[in-house]
A and B are shown apart, each in its own frame.
Chain A
């Protein structure tokens, strides 16, 4: 796996995600500065990490979405290359138009710092193939703006085409307002692009990969990517 993690001013999860990628794939990802205009040759996975790019100025992810490297990320996605945006990375993907919708302030106005349960909606994608259909995974959240919103037509497309990747749920997998901690429409925690090669999600799978630190439910996401890329090679 040749992964590239993009680093913006104010990114703060790039090392966490690099750690997870190396742990699972055995290969160190490249760290790519936002002002660069090209991805390293042979890049097959781009990761936009969490953090507070540009201090969340203007809107979360708005300025990072217009950074020089994003043209290369856009071209990579258009070629069918894999792109994973986590937390602020998800916000950047939405601001860049690579995913539809927007992430608004959490409904209760509180910063959500907690472990959330997520229901895996489909497992026929490069990102989720290591999970079982309907599996519930425990993944940490750390965000103030994770409340996913899209207009009715966009939502119909997302739901109609099965583009929801994860929904917030109970430990038993029940989806409902009680478990939808940030108020996201339809409890959406993550979505795919129509070609399933771009995933944006608010929770942090990279923080649940090392058994020494706790649960390892996030590992499957990276393991799935490694598996998908090995099979595609």
Chain B
């Protein structure tokens, strides 16, 4: 089983990196982009013995304990 965890900044948290990317896109002449916010994607391979319910729990624990800092970030788990 494969899974993907998306980590994104919460609304209202300043994202200087996203702002820099936004500026770079503008300077490339790519028009029509209102704003950019940068996040992270983790591609995770699950051990073959795991079931779906267990995997969901496992990934939530992984995101809560390490992958995301929930003070500033949200996460979303997708089992592929």
Contact = CB atoms under 8 A, between A and B. Distances in A.
Interface of A: 58-59, 62-63, 66, 94-95, 100-102, 104-109, 147, 149-151, 183
Top 8 closest pairs, chain A to chain B, by CB: A105-B16, A109-B16, A102-B71, A102-B72, A109-B20, A59-B69, A102-B69, A105-B17
A156 B14 CA distance: 19
A58 B14 contact: no
B13 interface: yes
Q: What is the interface residue range for chain B against chain A?
A: 10 to 19
Contacts of B65: 66
14 contacts: A58-B66, A66-B65, A100-B71, A104-B16, A105-B17, A106-B16, A107-B16, A109-B16, A109-B19, A147-B14, A149-B71, A149-B72, A150-B71, A151-B71
Residue of A58, A94, A106 contacting most chain B CB atoms (<10 Å): A58
Contacts of A101: 71
Contacts, number: 38
B69 A104 contact: no
A66 B20 contact: no
Interface of B: 13-14, 16-17, 19-20, 65-67, 69, 71-72
B14 A183 contact: yes
Contacts of B69: 59, 62, 95, 102
Given A104-B13, A183-B14, A62 B71 contact: no
A109 B14 CA distance: 11
A153 to B, nearest CB: 11
A109 B17 CA distance: 7
Given A62-B69, A102-B69, A149 B13 contact: yes
Contacts of A147: 14, 16
Nearest to B68: A59
A62 B66 CA distance: 7
Contacts of A102: 69, 71-72
